């Protein structure tokens, strides 16, 4: 079982891409992503949703980015931006009671007009340089 704990980074400033209600999003993601076994909104300042999937992390990340876009379309929102899923496996023990625990994946879902510029601005290459190849992923789901 793969566990993703999601944060959301909405870089789009448009009425057509409004902020999301995470309780509704968790339910919608489960409907739009066939591998999701469990989805729950979290009451946490950074982490918004916890998902469990039968897929391996790489496949689940692709499904998640596509599913996120599908949910936006189903809600009648604009769909002309990139959806990124940037993930890292938690390889150390988590704090007691924290949503992200060892072996789980912290995933930042980013909605942005320019995926390359966003990755450069956060120095994604530098942030992931010391990580094992199987301990991080980057999925970019472009509009169109």
Indicate the average pLDDT of the chain: 96
Within 8 A by CB and 6+ apart from 121, the residues are: none
What tokens were used for 6? Answer: 């999601």
The region, left, alpha or beta by phi > 0 then psi within -120 to 50, assigned to residue 76 is: left
State pLDDT tens for residues 40-51: 999 999 999 999
* 144, pLDDT greater than 80: no
- Strands 82-89 and 2-10, bridge-based pairing: unpaired
State pLDDT tens for residues 65-90: 999 999 999 999 998 999 999 999 99
The pLDDT value given to residue 143: 87
* 60, pLDDT greater than 90: yes
CA–CA separation, 50 and 101 (whole Å): 11
């Amino acid at each position: 079982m793969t566990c993703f704990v999601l944060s959301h980074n909405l870089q789009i400033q448009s009425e057509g891409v409004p902020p999301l209600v995470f309780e509704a999003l968790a339910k919608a993601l489960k409907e739009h992503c066939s591998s999701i076994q469990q989805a729950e909104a979290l009451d946490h300042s950074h982490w918004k949703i916890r998902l469990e999937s039968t897929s391996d992390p790489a496949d689940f990340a692709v499904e998640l980015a596509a599913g996120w876009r599908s949910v936006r379309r189903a809600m009648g929102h604009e769909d002309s931006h990139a959806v990124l899923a940037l993930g890292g496996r938690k390889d150390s023990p988590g704090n007691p009671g924290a949503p992200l625990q060892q072996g789980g994946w912290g995933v930042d879902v980013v909605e942005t007009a320019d995926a390359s510029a966003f990755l450069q601005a956060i120095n994604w290459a530098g942030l992931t340089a010391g990580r094992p190849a199987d301990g991080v992923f980057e999925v970019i789901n472009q509009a169109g």
